[in-house]
Structure formats: C-alpha cells, structure tokens
Structure 1
Amino acid sequence: MVLYLTELIKNWPCTVSGGELRTVVTGITENSSRVKSGYIFVARRGGHYDGALYIKKAIEQGAAAIVIDRTDVIGIPAGVVVIIVPDCRVFLSHASARLAGNPAERLKVIAVTGTNGKTTVTHFIGQLLKELGKKAAVIGTTGIFIDGVKIDYDGPQMTTLPAEYLHSLLQRCENEKVTHIVLEASSLGLSTNRLDHCAIDIGILLNIGTDHYEEHGGKTCYVNAKKRLFGMVKTAIVNKDDGECVEMAKSAPVPVVYFGTDPAADIQVPYLQMNPMIPGHYNRLNALAAISALLILGYTVDEVVPRCGVLQLPEGRLQRLERDGIQVYVDYAHTPDALEAVLRTLANSCYGKLITVFGCGGQRDKGKRAEMGELAVLYSSSVIVTSDNPRNEDPDAIVRDIMEGFGGDCSAIEAVLDRKYAIRKAVFCAAPGDVVLIAGKGHEKTQHTADGLIPFSDIEEAGKALSEKTFLDIRGINSE
C-alpha cells in the first residue's frame, strides 16, 4: 500500500526535523543491509551493536528517514528526515503493521507461549484446522508452514519473527487466502515488542520452566515477559495443571479459560484417541491445549476430538528412527522440564536399556546444567554427555557443569565432546530392545560453535549410525 511518511507518524509521539515529510515510504528496517530507496531506517541501540553506526550506509542506500530514540546522535545530513521517538522497537512494530496494511486485524491469530511445547501445540492446532477445512499458517521454531507444507521465506530463523518480517509475512498469508495464523510467542519476542501491533484473538500459556532466566535478568523478568501476552489477546487459555501459570493468570485483563487434568479445569478430555506414535502424558496436554483453541474458535468437542487421531509431532519432537530392533528418538528437549518429560516417557516404554545423549547450549542459563545431568542419570541406563551449541563458551566447561549433577564418579557416564561420535557411540552400544535418546537440538540443521554455524543434524547422524551399525553387524565386525 502507498503510505506517506506524514501518515505513518500521525498521532505518534515523536519529534521530526529535516527533509521532506511528503515522502512515500516503501518499507522499514533496523538492518542497514536491507535498506532500499524509500525505506525508513530504525537506528536502534542494541545489546551487541549500535544502529547509529550504520546511518551513513542506510542513507547511501536510499533511506527516506532515520528513526532514533535519543538526542545525542550526530553527523546526520541536514536534508535527511530525522524522527525521534520514545522507543524504537515500539515504533518499528507500529510502522511494520501499518505498511503491511494491518493484516492481523483480518486474520484469526492464535499465539502460544510457554517454556516447553510451543512448537508442538502450534502444529497440532494447524493440523486440526486443516482437518476442519481451514487454511492455516504455522509460524515458529521449525519454520513457516501453510496448510502443513513448509514454505521458503527470506527471513531470520527465530521462534518469533521481528515485526518488520512478521507483518509482511502475514500480508503474504492473507494474499494466499490463509484465514488462521498460529504462531509461537517466545519470551524474548514478547519482551522486545515484536508482537505489540499484531492483533491476537487467542493466547495460550502452556507452562513456566527454568529457561531463559539469564537472558531476561532473572525469573521475575522472564515471567513478566510471558505475562505480556495477556494484555495482547481477546481470550487467554491457561494450563490449570501448572500452578505458576494459574497464578500469572489471576491478573489477566481478559477472559481466561483453563485446560488440564485438574478437576477444576474448564476443558478436560479424559481420554484422547491420539496417534499411537505420539507417546507421553505431556503430549496429551499439548493436544488438549490445541483442542481448547479450536473450542474457543467455536468448534464443538464432537467436531474436534475425533480428529486428534491424525495428529503428528513436528520435526525433531520425539522423532523416531528404528532399525534391527533399536529405537532412536531425536528430541528438542533442552530444558530440565522437557528433558524429564521425554526421559520419563521413554523409560516407561523401554524394555531394554535407555541410552541418553545430550548437552547444554553455551552462553545460556548455566543454572540448569547440573539439574539436567542429574535427571539424565536418574532415568537412563547410561549417559553420554556431549557438545550442544557451545557458541563462544568452552565446551569442556559446559560438560563440567553438567557433570556436577551426577554427584561424583559413575561408570555409566561418559563425556564425548564430538557430537557426531557421541551419537555413533550410543547407537553402536545399543542392542535390540534398547532405546537411544538424542536430546537438545531436535530439528536443527546446524551447530553453533565458536567458529560459527556448521552443518549438523542429529536426525541425519542417527540415521547414518544405524545404517553403519547394520553394515558392520552383517559382516560380523565389532561395531564398538
């Protein structure tokens, strides 16, 4: 749509100087590399860089205006429009929605937040909507899907897309006749205003775990980030089985509907005829959360519940590979709650040994490492601790933090820093009837190290290891 700069800033608290306000705005970005003629460049000061350093580059590439939230930026040419706003992030959200034509206002939008389960619940909702004849888009950690098919999209791989990408995507969805949007609302996405001007019909709060505390500056800030969703939706759906969620919902300014196994929950489905390939009590709760969303949309229990038999877990969520009687599960579990839920599920169904391979991400919540180590030992026959996404942290130091949870020496614990070799070793140690769990990275196709992103897939490596083990066993070679 054609939008003049004067229209975009009308009634917005700001101070404007320089340049021509009767300029057609063609886009907005905080990434100077994306600036084109007619774009607004938002020179925000971030945690790792200062956008003011890229103002010159943005102007050279055709920026129509510069947005800042301070008065100490110097060196901007007099003929360039400068807009000073109270908060760059909030303005970016507002302007992105306006430039896209506010598509969220015409779509049914469902946002799911929680420490664990966001990806599974969003995909479950998308699958149920498809079964009911609706065209839905699912946006989140594993990518963007329309009608269950992953689409190509030129944007960052983030759980919750920044506003400048989100609203243009919603506009594309609307043009492709999508009627429902189901998206993951991460704590960081909520706290950094990415969803501020996205009209949301239903918000779902699944659980509160012990992840991302350090990124937010503590548990209180993390919880408050999640609570922001209550002020952005028309109806909230909350897990009645999670006491912290129930407490958070007490101050919600919108109607709250509770789901769960708790007798006081508004929505309970005692027994779900789910796909038998989807194990775990926690996945039944995930399905119940999805059902709750459909009921709020106006569907009946009789319409929704029978369709749960077709539900499938998204990529990297208890993704199962089997060969010669050995089962391998790849799962994204990277928090203590998620890891325990998966381990308990597999331990209850495993007739042989349960071998667990996992690590913890670098530069993230060090406090959870020992706890995850303790849980792995509690449920597993043997554990191989390996590297996850160490980023710029020493992988050896991460492993030492995890090993503290083992409470001393243990012959069933081994550290193998090379993740590929750790997976291979676990599979080669397994016998028919055993289960191997590879946890932490799930769907991810890269590993984030100090050297940058390198190609790596747990699913591919597990498949290769199973094939190689079969090859060696056939020839009578000791694969260990």
Structure 2
Amino acid sequence: MIELCELLKNWPCTAKGGNIRALVSGVTDHSAEVIPGSVFVARKGRSVSGLDHIHEALRNGAVAVVSDISNPPALPQGVSVISVPDAADFLAYACSAFYRHPSRELTVFAVTGTNGKTTTTRFIGQLLKAGGIRAAVIGTLGVWIDGRKTPLQIPPMTTLPPAHLHRVLRYCADEGVTHVAMEASSLGLSGRRLDHCSIDYGVFLNIGTDHHAEHGGEESYLRAKGRLAGLAGQIVLNAEDPAVRSITADRLPVMTFGERSGGDSHLRIVDDRNGGWVISAGESHSVIRAPVEGRHNRLNAAAAFASLMAAGFGLADLCKHASCLSLPEGRMQEAEGAGIRVFVDYAHTPDALEAVLGALSSVCKGRLILVFGCGGDRDGEKRPQMGRVAGEYSGSVWVTSDNPRSEEPARIISDIMEGLKNTAAIVRAETDREHAIRGAIYEAEPGDIVLIAGKGHEEIQISGSSSRPFSDFRTALRFLGEREAEDGASGGDDRVQTTDRFWYDGSGME
C-alpha cells in the first residue's frame, strides 16, 4: 500500500477532489481489475478509451481516476481527478512505483525480434540456472523461475502490461531471483508496456515481416522495435541483420553475434562437420555438441551466449553448460510413431517457416509433409509468401485454418494458395485443422516428416467470437496412436495412399 500523494509526488500532474492521502491498493488501466482503493488510469487504447469505463471503475471502488484529456468528466465527491500530460506514460511509471521499482533490483534482459524471442529467453534462463543463478523467464509461455512454471495469474500476452509486469517483477525479486529474461514484442514496445522498467540489456534478434498491419505499416513496426534501443542500458544485436542494424544505428552495441567473424565484442557461431557448434569470441574458442537442431536455433543460442557475455559471464563457463539447452514447448516439439516423425512448431511468419522447413529438410529421409494456415485479422500480405515457402520445401502441403478469428477460413486459404500456384508439391485444402492433421499423419510413410506449423504451444483455436480447446501436439499424438494401432492390426499394410493433386478456389475442393 502507498499513499496517493506519494505515488504522485515525482510526477507532473494536477489533482482535484478526493483524499490525496488515500491508501492506494493498486494501479490499473482495466476497469474490471479495479479493486477498492485502486487508481484507474483512463488511457486511450488501440480500439477503446478508458474514459468509457470510468463508471465501472468507480463501481469497483476506484479512489482516483487519471487521464490526459483537458476537460475530464465530473466525478463523485470523494474521488480524486488527476490530470497528467500522458496517461500511458504515467501508467508505466505508477505501476513501477507502486511495486517499489522492482526492476532496479534485478538484471533484466529484454529480447525483441520477429522470430525467436521465446526460445532465446528460455536459453538465457537455462544457462543461468545451470550456472547456479536464480533466474526468471517471462513471456509467451508464462512466468518461469529456475525452469518451473509459477502459479502467477497473468494475461496471455507476449509482453505483460505494466500492472502485471511490475507485480511479477516484485514477486521475482522477493523470491530471490537476480536475473530476468523477458520477451519484448513490437506491440508491447509501442504500447509503452516496458517504459519505466529498468532494462539492462536490450537484445535484437531479427526483423522480418509480421505485425505490419497492426502497426499501420512497416515503418511504424520498425519504429516500435527500435524503441527498445532507447529503453535499454546496453544493446546486444545480430550483426548480420540489416534491419536490426538500421533501427539501432544510434547505439553502440556492447556485444554482437552472427555466423561471420567480427571483433573482440562479437560472438561467432557456426556448425562444425561432426554435428556440433564452433563458438568463438575474441581469443576464446569452444567446440560443443549441438543440443538443438536448426540454424535459427543456433542463432538463438548465439544471442543467449552473447547476452550473458555482455553481462560479464565467460564464454568457457557458458559452453560448459550448453548441453542444458532445450527448446520450449511448441518449438520443434517432436512426437514419433509408426516410423513417422511429427514436429509441432510455432512458426507463423515466412522467415520462421522457412527456417524450420530448412532444418527439417536436411534430416528428412523421405518426404516433408506440412500442415499450416495463417491467422485471421492479421497481416494478409504474408499469406502468399508463406504459401511460396511451403511449396518450395514440402512434398505435400495441407492448407488449413490457424486462428481464423473474424475472417472466413476459405478466404484465408485462398490467399495462401496464391503462393502455391507454381509449386510441384501436392496441395490439399481442409478448413478443419483436426482433419488436416489426421490427413497428413495418415498420408505419411515411414521415413517421412510431418510438420504442423503456426500454433505451437497454443491450447485454443479462435474462430469468430468463440474459442475451443485445441492442441496441435496432443492432436498429433492421438492420431499417431490410432495410426500405430491400425497398422499393427493390419500388419502395417493399411495405409492411406494419396497421389492426386487438389486445388482450392475459395468455394470448394477440386
């Protein structure tokens, strides 16, 4: 608890009415989260305004309402009306202040990039844990401390909003955590969720084509990513990504990473000829057995190594713990049965899909069979690009629904098909994702690899205004089990043979 006047004393504002010494029980911009004693920040959101929810906040017990409009509405006697220059800026500051600025007690790594944030933050956490350091990882998969998921209730967001972020950071500090690795999404950065959070190292992985529409174009997307360079004390970056270089041009990195040689503050990582990695930085040099597959995951590991070296850890010590690295749930997650390998991966951008397909094609003994779709109400321009990538690497493609949201699944599939028109792959359209996964698994023969891409760890599928429980991995396990049972009962000869090519014109199967 903190007095309202203490919360406001370091902030430019005017306060009218109410009790300036009222005890504050929380700060939030969501009226449904208001409890008696809360400060409600009525800021403007992407689609709604907090001003429309003031009455709900008052019903729930708000003692003060903060806004940045010149003429705030009249409020009941006993409620403080506080005017600030920027409500979003105040929200971030006030949430940090309410929890006694917990980020200042921690070493914080914030990782941004179109792809790889979840894996890189997990790698940082794993390396720290292996070195005996209590570390937390915050992001898409929740809050983890020392490799175990915490029971904290948080919204399912890549980057937490300030009211939840600083509560989590306070919990971590009180639990003896000293280092935190968290994901910094473009939407989180543009929404000011990380403002007034003490970030020691900003880590830049890559810049691809995603979320352009949600930001109003590529330029705004790049500007959002670039905000991390201004928020972080020091930056670590992928030296070989031109877009990363462009958005961090005014900052000198403390460490860089990549596959080419560099200076003393550069970590180089490449494959050796024996299934391992060669890692070098300055005069330090190590050869280790590769704990994960794929060039993209090797670069994610390089980002984790470089970030920890920037924080003072030695390369030799980090390499001793490299065997602990393992991928998060829904990232190259493998199941096997009936001689078939099935992988589930979150790849939902053209770059990510190409990276995963490239990694699997290098180890696939038979055909590569792909199941994927694209999300609705999201960047439509990437759909044909993903179709092109799918056809380039796969022998068979099942185009299906991802999270269609408010869009018609047939429209999304039609957009993807534009990129598959000149491919040699066998292409099928199946709007029901469960049926598509079954079809792919029953189509496969021993030696084939099935990749189910796009949803990864997600446990629901969103269609229209409703959602239903759905897990790609559990669905794959179920059909693999059925396939094995049927093959066993029939002596292994009862397989679905599919040789015809199908095209989808948006209205039906042909």
Q: Does TM-score exceed 0.5, indicating one fold?
A: yes
**CA 1:250–1:408 in structure 2 vs 1: closer, same or farther (change >3 Å)?**
closer
The offset of 1:274, in angstroms, is 5.8
2:262 partner amino acid? A
1:56 matched to 2:37? The reply is no
**CA 1:424–1:40 in structure 2 vs 1: closer, same or farther (change >3 Å)?**
same
Moved over 6 A (4+): none
**CA 1:411–1:233 in structure 2 vs 1: closer, same or farther (change >3 Å)?**
closer
Distance of 2:494 and 2:46 partners within structure 1: 52
* 3-state SS of paired residue (1:133): coil
Distance of 1:102 and 1:203 partners within structure 2: 19
CA contact (8 A) 2:269 2:299 kept: no
* 3-state SS of paired residue (2:115): coil
The match for 2:347 among 314, 330, 333 is 333
Distance of 1:405 and 1:177 partners within structure 2: 51
The match for 1:468 among 478, 482, 485 is 482
Q: Please give the per-residue CA displacement for 1:285-318, whole angstroms capped at 9, x wherever unaligned.
A: 1111100111112111110112112210000000
Distance of 1:174 and 1:79 partners within structure 2: 35
1:33 partner amino acid? A
Number of the residue aligned with 1:386: 400
**CA 1:278–1:353 in structure 2 vs 1: closer, same or farther (change >3 Å)?**
same
* 3-state SS of paired residue (1:210): coil
Number of the residue aligned with 1:247: 246
Number of the residue aligned with 1:177: 176
Question: Which region of structure 1 is more displaced relative to structure 2, 409-418 or 168-177?
Answer: 409-418
Distance of 1:123 and 1:345 partners within structure 2: 20
1:354 matched to 2:353? The reply is no
The offset of 1:123, in angstroms, is 0.3
CA contact (8 A) 1:386 1:399 kept: yes
Matches within 5 A, 1:440-479: 440-476=454-490, 478-479=494-495
Distance of 1:409 and 1:337 partners within structure 2: 18
The offset of 1:57, in angstroms, is 2.1
Distance of 2:320 and 2:90 partners within structure 1: 44
Question: Which region of structure 1 is more displaced relative to structure 2, 391-400 or 27-36?
Answer: 27-36
Distance of 1:369 and 1:52 partners within structure 2: 37
1:294 matched to 2:308? The reply is yes
2:267 partner amino acid? I
Question: Which region of structure 1 is more displaced relative to structure 2, 73-82 or 53-62?
Answer: 73-82
Distance of 2:117 and 2:388 partners within structure 1: 25
Distance of 2:20 and 2:457 partners within structure 1: 46
1:311 partner amino acid? L
Matches within 5 A, 1:197-212: 197-212=196-211
Distance of 1:446 and 1:389 partners within structure 2: 9
2:326 partner amino acid? Q
Q: Please give the per-residue CA displacement for 1:334-353, whole angstroms capped at 9, x wherever unaligned.
A: 00000000011111111101
Question: Which region of structure 1 is more displaced relative to structure 2, 400-409 or 109-118?
Answer: 400-409
CA contact (8 A) 2:372 2:402 kept: yes
The offset of 1:158, in angstroms, is 0.3
> Structure 2-normalised TM-score?
0.91
Distance of 2:23 and 2:268 partners within structure 1: 52
Number of the residue aligned with 2:283: none
* 3-state SS of paired residue (1:262): coil
1:234 partner amino acid? G
Distance of 1:207 and 1:392 partners within structure 2: 30
Number of the residue aligned with 2:268: 268
Distance of 1:448 and 1:55 partners within structure 2: 29
Number of the residue aligned with 1:96: 95
The offset of 1:276, in angstroms, is 4.9
> Percent of pairs identical after alignment?
48
CA contact (8 A) 1:362 1:393 kept: yes
RMSD between superposed Cα atoms in Å: 1.5
Number of the residue aligned with 1:257: 255
The offset of 1:278, in angstroms, is 1.6
Distance of 1:326 and 1:53 partners within structure 2: 54
Distance of 1:12 and 1:150 partners within structure 2: 36
The offset of 1:459, in angstroms, is 0.3
CA contact (8 A) 2:236 2:255 kept: yes
Q: Please give the per-residue CA displacement for 1:59-110, whole angstroms capped at 9, x wherever unaligned.
A: 1222110011213443422432111112221111100000101010010101
**CA 1:226–1:409 in structure 2 vs 1: closer, same or farther (change >3 Å)?**
closer
Number of the residue aligned with 2:325: 311
> Structure 1-normalised TM-score?
0.97
CA contact (8 A) 1:315 1:443 kept: yes
* 3-state SS of paired residue (2:321): helix
Matches within 5 A, 1:38-117: 38-117=37-116
* 3-state SS of paired residue (1:6): helix
Distance of 1:145 and 1:447 partners within structure 2: 24
* 3-state SS of paired residue (1:137): strand
The unaligned stretches of length 5 or more in structure 2 are 271-277, 280-286, 497-510
1:439 matched to 2:483? The reply is no
Distance of 2:415 and 2:323 partners within structure 1: 41
1:286 partner amino acid? N
Distance of 1:330 and 1:255 partners within structure 2: 34
* 3-state SS of paired residue (1:183): strand
Distance of 1:185 and 1:341 partners within structure 2: 21
Number of the residue aligned with 2:128: 129
1:323 matched to 2:337? The reply is yes
CA contact (8 A) 2:392 2:423 kept: no
The offset of 1:284, in angstroms, is 0.9
CA contact (8 A) 1:14 1:85 kept: yes
1:140 matched to 2:136? The reply is no
CA contact (8 A) 1:249 1:256 kept: no
CA contact (8 A) 2:257 2:268 kept: yes
1:219 partner amino acid? E
The offset of 1:408, in angstroms, is 5.5
Pairs aligned (count): 478
Distance of 1:103 and 1:419 partners within structure 2: 43
2:417 partner amino acid? M
1:240 partner amino acid? A
1:118 matched to 2:132? The reply is no
CA contact (8 A) 1:210 1:336 kept: yes
CA contact (8 A) 1:275 1:311 kept: no
The unaligned stretches of length 5 or more in structure 1 are none
Q: Please give the per-residue CA displacement for 1:10-66, whole angstroms capped at 9, x wherever unaligned.
A: 131222211111111111111112111211011223233222222122212221100
Number of the residue aligned with 2:10: 11
CA contact (8 A) 2:391 2:425 kept: no
**CA 1:8–1:344 in structure 2 vs 1: closer, same or farther (change >3 Å)?**
same
The offset of 1:409, in angstroms, is 8.4
Distance of 2:412 and 2:88 partners within structure 1: 34
* 3-state SS of paired residue (2:476): helix
Number of the residue aligned with 2:284: none
1:125 partner amino acid? I
**CA 1:269–1:355 in structure 2 vs 1: closer, same or farther (change >3 Å)?**
closer
